[in-house]
Chains A and B, each alone.
Chain A
Amino acid sequence: MTPAQDMALALAIRAVGMPLLATLLVLGALRVQARWLRRPGSPAGQPEDPGPVLAAAIWAGVVGARGLPRWPVADTLDLLGPLALLASLAARAIGAVPESRKRAAEWALGILAAVAIGWLLMVPRGVPGAIMSVGPGALAIGVTWALGALGRTGGHPGTWHAVFAVSAAGSATMLALSGSALLGQVAASLALSGGILALIAFLRPGIAPGPSATAALAAAQGGLLAYGWAFTEAPRIPLLLALAIPASALIGRRSPGWWSSRVLPVGIALALSGAVVAWSLLAAPDPSPYPY
């Protein structure tokens, strides 16, 4: 094969292979969770929450894009997968908390997760000044987590995931325009995962993903954007807007109508995501690709 053919094949693998891999991982996560990781005693027909396996799939995706992590950790992006897994496990644990205390437990855990993720992802080794950047990162992740928690408390199960998929797609474009194709690819995989889960929830409501799945996705998206805040040239305002887009899932969540509980929130998310992309395009000095 000629070098040009090599390059074309590699780009095709990235363009087709990554979505295919994301699809297989998400479906595989649901299958594994439903069949082999059921909690003892749970009814056979009851759907399981695929969060931990989905988080493991996210981790595998980051390893696939970055390569195997090193110890001690040299690049804090390698911590994104483990943090998403911890977030999903924590969300599953909260499921056992009595209903009257669940909201407080979610907020408390969300704040802890925000500080932990912000600290671990945004403060590189040997750079003490970067501690100042933990604040906005922790705030950002806390917002994402909280919105994920709110998304779990009402409304159609697929709406949050559809809104998340749209916001992750906008984040992917913004991160790619900021100069990092790698972060854009990871965000695109999250968008695909969210989209697949939304489709499953809309088409088969009986097997809708649960709280730990939203926690895994929220932690991964929040962590990715916090990392982008610290280590890329991504513009700040569209970055914060991308984090806030999942709030659209709150719109119409108490309404039984199909239009107000599904179409409207996704439409608003699309508009906001478009604003994120447009702002990033305007902020990028010259968004056209350079000759590699």
Chain B
Amino acid sequence: MRKVIGTAGLWTLLAWTVAGPAPARAQTTWKVDPVHSQVLFRVLHLNIGHVWGWFRQFEGTVVLDAQRPEGNRIEFSVDAASVDTRDEKRDQHLRSPDFFNAKQAPKWTFRSRSVKPAGADSWEVSGDLTLRGVTKPVTFTARKVGEGKDPWGSQRVGFSAKFPVDRSAFGISYMPEGLGREVEVFVDFEAILQK
């Protein structure tokens, strides 16, 4: 019996030495945690001040490849009807064909084409933004806010980005005299590593 165990152990040690320890996973997939994430926007109102709003429903996935940066991907999807500017009648108007036309184009999406390192904890992200059925390329810088384990054992990473959107380029051109043409979008999210 001692001889069997000893032989098996010897073979295991030999196999481990030849094969080496199991390699660390190169590509990791992270799912956006909507509870700890925000998608906000602000637009100039009457050239006097800003009106802020946010979207209550969205989802996203981030794929990071430590060994092949060209394999990095970000995909985000926002429910256009979930807009919230703290005024229900204004939100109803925003959902209508005058602005978002949320019934005809319910999902706004971003799909990255490239995610390249651009300095310490920064990435230059380029991709296709689709709003109201119109797709345009956008490029912006995403900054990594932090990374670590949460109290429940999940690995988390946080990113922050902001970029301007020319609403008229996407067919959202109503009321040009009252609202600015450029809308600033702010995205702050935490994503959880998927096993």
Could you say which of B95, B104, B173, B178 has the most chain A C-beta atoms within 10 Å of its C-beta? B104
Q: How many residues of B contact A (CB 8 A)?
A: 28
Could you say which of A67, A77, A179, A230 has the most chain B C-beta atoms within 10 Å of its C-beta? A179
C-alpha gap A4/B93 in the complex (Å): 21
How far is the CB of B86 from the nearest CB of chain A, in Å? 11
Q: Which residue of A lies closest to B103 (CB)?
A: A231
Interface of B, secondary structure class, is loop
The answer to the question of B28 belonging to the interface, with a C-beta cut-off of 8 Å to chain A, is: no
How far is the CB of A14 from the nearest CB of chain B, in Å? 9
Q: Known contacts A10-B178, A70-B134, A182-B174; decide if A231 and B97 are in contact (CB<8 Å).
A: yes
Cβ 8 A contact of B98, one of A6, A181, A290: A181
Q: Are B103 and A7 in contact (CB under 8 A)?
A: no
Cβ 8 A contact of A180, one of B90, B98, B133, B178: B98
Q: Are A180 and B47 in contact (CB under 8 A)?
A: no
Q: Are B92 and A233 in contact (CB under 8 A)?
A: yes
8 Å CB interface, B152-181 against A: 168, 171, 173-175, 177-178
The answer to the question of A47 belonging to the interface, with a C-beta cut-off of 8 Å to chain B, is: no
Q: Known contacts A67-B168, A67-B173; decide if A232 and B97 are in contact (CB<8 Å).
A: yes
Cβ of A66: which chain B residues have Cβ within 8 Å of it? 171, 173
How far is the CB of B111 from the nearest CB of chain A, in Å? 15
The answer to the question of B1 belonging to the interface, with a C-beta cut-off of 8 Å to chain A, is: no
Q: Are A290 and B93 in contact (CB under 8 A)?
A: yes
How far is the CB of B69 from the nearest CB of chain A, in Å? 31
Q: Are A75 and B132 in contact (CB under 8 A)?
A: yes
Q: Which residue of A lies closest to B131 (CB)?
A: A74
The answer to the question of A124 belonging to the interface, with a C-beta cut-off of 8 Å to chain B, is: yes
Cβ of B89: which chain A residues have Cβ within 8 Å of it? 285-286, 290
How far is the CB of A68 from the nearest CB of chain B, in Å? 10
Q: Known contacts A74-B133, A124-B105, A182-B98; decide if A290 and B177 are in contact (CB<8 Å).
A: no
The answer to the question of A3 belonging to the interface, with a C-beta cut-off of 8 Å to chain B, is: yes
Cβ of B173: which chain A residues have Cβ within 8 Å of it? 66-67
Q: Are A179 and B92 in contact (CB under 8 A)?
A: yes
Q: Which residue of B lies closest to A179 (CB)?
A: B96
How far is the CB of B53 from the nearest CB of chain A, in Å? 14
C-alpha gap A63/B95 in the complex (Å): 21
Q: Which residue of A lies closest to B173 (CB)?
A: A67
How far is the CB of B75 from the nearest CB of chain A, in Å? 16
Query: Beta-carbon contacts of A240-282 to B below 8 Å, as 1s and 0s?
Result: 0000000000000000000000000000000000000000000
Cβ of A77: which chain B residues have Cβ within 8 Å of it? 97
How far is the CB of A158 from the nearest CB of chain B, in Å? 32
C-alpha gap A6/B87 in the complex (Å): 24
The answer to the question of A76 belonging to the interface, with a C-beta cut-off of 8 Å to chain B, is: yes
Cβ 8 A contact of A292, one of B88, B106, B175: B175
How far is the CB of B137 from the nearest CB of chain A, in Å? 15
Query: Beta-carbon contacts of B61-101 to A below 8 Å, as 1s and 0s?
Result: 00000000000000000000000000111101101111001
The answer to the question of B19 belonging to the interface, with a C-beta cut-off of 8 Å to chain A, is: no
How far is the CB of A63 from the nearest CB of chain B, in Å? 12
C-alpha gap A74/B104 in the complex (Å): 9
Query: Beta-carbon contacts of A1-35 to B below 8 Å, as 1s and 0s?
Result: 00110110110000000000000000000000000
Q: Are A76 and B104 in contact (CB under 8 A)?
A: yes
Cβ of B47: which chain A residues have Cβ within 8 Å of it? 3, 6
Q: Which residue of A lies closest to B98 (CB)?
A: A182
C-alpha gap A179/B91 in the complex (Å): 10
Cβ 8 A contact of B46, one of A7, A75, A232: A7
How far is the CB of A172 from the nearest CB of chain B, in Å? 14
Cβ 8 A contact of B90, one of A3, A9, A286, A290: A290
Q: Known contacts A10-B177, A10-B178, A180-B97; decide if A4 and B46 are in contact (CB<8 Å).
A: yes
Cβ of B46: which chain A residues have Cβ within 8 Å of it? 3-4, 6-7
Residue positions of A touching B, CB distance < 8 A: 3-4, 6-7, 9-10, 66-67, 70, 74-77, 124-125, 127, 178-183, 227, 230-233, 285-286, 290-292
Would you give 6 A-B contacts (Cβ < 8 Å), ordered by A? Answer: A3-B46, A6-B47, A66-B171, A179-B92, A233-B92, A290-B87
Residue positions of B touching A, CB distance < 8 A: 46-48, 87-90, 92-93, 95-98, 101, 103-106, 132-134, 168, 171, 173-175, 177-178
Q: For the A-B complex with A7-B177, A67-B173 known, give 6 more contacts whose Cβ atoms are closer than 8 Å.
A: A3-B46, A67-B171, A75-B97, A125-B133, A179-B98, A231-B104
Top-7 shortest CB links A-B: A74-B133, A10-B177, A290-B89, A3-B46, A179-B96, A180-B96, A124-B104
